[in-house]
Chains A and B, each alone.
Chain A
Amino acid sequence: MADLTEELAKVKGEEPAVPSKDVRVHPDPEPAKGPLDVPTGTPTVIVDDLHIVYRVYGAASESEKGNAVNAFMRIVKRQGRPQMKEVHAVKGVSFVAYHGDAIGVVGRNGSGKSTLLRAIAGLLPPHSGAVYTDGQPSLLGVNAALMRELTGERNIILGCYAMGMTPAEVREKYQEIVDFSGIDEFVQLPMSTYSSGMGARLRFAISSAKTHDVLLIDEALATGDREFRKKSEQRIRQIRESAGTVFLVAHDLRVIQQTCNRVIWLHKGKIKMDGDPKEVLAAYTKG
């Protein structure tokens, strides 16, 4: 155990040494304070100098008119497609997350929050650097697997299978999902007939039905009416208690303050600040 604490001190001590004008405050190596009173343990997620580069197609610039002659000239001149742009979304992010951590990720739109979460989940290949994890992190988001033309019932089954459940688990969870989403008899109707709130409730109910080791939550709370928000906050707390480490992206800073013991502030793809929620959030709201 002594070996371990030494290790932690080493890791945490090394980061402020980074030659950067950014401020970095680090959480106490001692048991973390904050709403979730779990001592920091072994590392569960290590992000090592991670760079993520997206390729985006179809974004033709003004100067390049998309006609056939230009396209042909490009090939003759051996230029790349102008419509293909590279977006450097995450630029050299490094941090270590520990067992029992609930880490809030804040930052403006387009600062790379969602991209970082997807990279941790192992869904986006890193351009360089690496993400090391204990177990399989999962993103709380099943939306992409659902089909609007199908009934809620079919979508529940499809979504559960997409998350890797077995038929027995699906049977067991089915009623729970219907009850939690509160869509009642609408479950027999196609999802395209749902109101946006109902759709969001069903999606959240499906994606939170599974238990996870490392859980990544991306803006899941921004939907539904007040009653449902309360219900889902409670559900997230439950999930967090059973999960090893939770990452939470939210624009609602109140939620982060209530649930996290550490906050990472991303700015233009880099960590601007990393540490105690109070300090980071204070700096974030000021800047």
Chain B
Amino acid sequence: MSQPESAVADAQAGGRSGQEPLAKLAERYGLRRAIARPRFLVYVRQLAERRHFILTYATSRNVSKYSSSALGQLWQVLTPLLNAAIYYVMFGIVLGGRDGVENYPAFLLIGIFVFTYTQRSVTAGAKSISGNLSLIRALHFPRAALPLAYTIQELQQLAISMGVLVLIVFITAEVPTWYWLMIPVVLILQTMFNVGAGLVMARLGSSMRDLNQLLPFITRTWLYASGVFFSIQDKVVETADLPQWVATAMYLNPAASYIEWMRDIFIYKHTPPPMVWMACVFWAVFALCFGFWYFWRAEERYGRG
């Protein structure tokens, strides 16, 4: 801060110091700072009061996103399907990923849909503050509403993908089982994780401008580390001959955990091993709590650009 004008202004402010400061006057009349961070619980309550805005904003964004294309919201189904088709040809057939994997189409689709949900939430979260500065500078609302709305937008997208998934799993001859009742549980846990991760990315993205350039590389690395189109155990330990702990570490990453649980439900038809469901619960609770706390800590600073 070295503008000469500010020096003059500072001198002016200093010249008034003999009288009662305005801050004291404000205190006497019970006025509060216009920009003050509410306490954490108050903040969460304010956010809950804005649930209608969050939902409407998410839905509106989804509607407007496809409004210029002829097929409209059909793209919400087509995009994941086309992606899956490409991966199936490349990794399943050409590179032989389907060898030794039970029901590879279902295996692949689960991996892609579940991973995409987390990946898109993280990417959208990083843009949710920096891409909405005009909104932040015009209206008053808990800023966490924005990353939250972006995650909900992705959840709406996932709901459609899951419909497609169930259909394909039917076609590939899996019968519904009682294990399918666990699907909502996994989705809720994954959503908790995505909300938390989105909030952390939103704060990082609001101050680190280069994050958006860097994110595609991070998410791609994450994609390969999560066993989306191959079985981690087969490729890492048996084919590449790496030690077991590498595979275990990969299984414990949040995206891989949620993918594994979903595959257990749809394909292997058993309850997940304790390691998987414990990782899922841990990541969900940890990300949500830390994400909210971390985002809330900078609440009054969003919007400075």
Contact = CB atoms under 8 A, between A and B. Distances in A.
Interface residues of A, number: 71
A123 interface: yes
Given A121-B34, A147-B61, A268-B5, A18 B137 contact: no
A228 to B, nearest CB: 22
Interface string A88-127: 1001101010000000000000000000001111111111
Interface in A259-283: 268-270
Interface in B5-36: 5-6, 8-13, 15-16, 19-23, 25-26, 28-35
B50 interface: yes
Given A121-B34, A123-B136, A161-B56, A7 B6 contact: no
Contacts of A145: 57, 135, 138-139
A91 B139 contact: no
A144 B35 contact: no
Interface stretch (A32-40, A134-142, A180-188, A248-256): A134-142
Interface of A: 7, 10-11, 14-15, 17-20, 42-49, 51, 53-57, 86, 88, 91-92, 94, 96, 118-127, 129-134, 136-139, 141-145, 147-150, 154, 157-158, 161-164, 166-167, 190, 268-270
Contact of B6 (A92, A125, A150, A154): A92
A162 B16 contact: no
Interface residues of B, number: 54
13 contacts: A14-B19, A17-B16, A18-B12, A19-B11, A54-B304, A55-B304, A92-B9, A124-B137, A124-B303, A145-B138, A149-B68, A162-B53, A164-B140
Contacts of B10: 92
Contacts of A122: 33-35, 140
Complex A-B, nearest 10 residue pairs according to Cβ-Cβ distance, in ascending order: A92-B9, A132-B26, A122-B34, A132-B31, A48-B22, A149-B64, A161-B53, A144-B135, A131-B34, A144-B134
Binding site secondary structure of chain A: mixed
Contact of B15 (A19, A88, A120, A150): A19
The winner among B8, B9, B29, B141 for most chain A CB atoms within 10 A is B9
The winner among B26, B135, B303 for most chain A CB atoms within 10 A is B26
Given A144-B138, A150-B64, 6 more contacts: A44-B31, A48-B23, A88-B5, A94-B22, A145-B139, A147-B60
Contacts of A137: 34
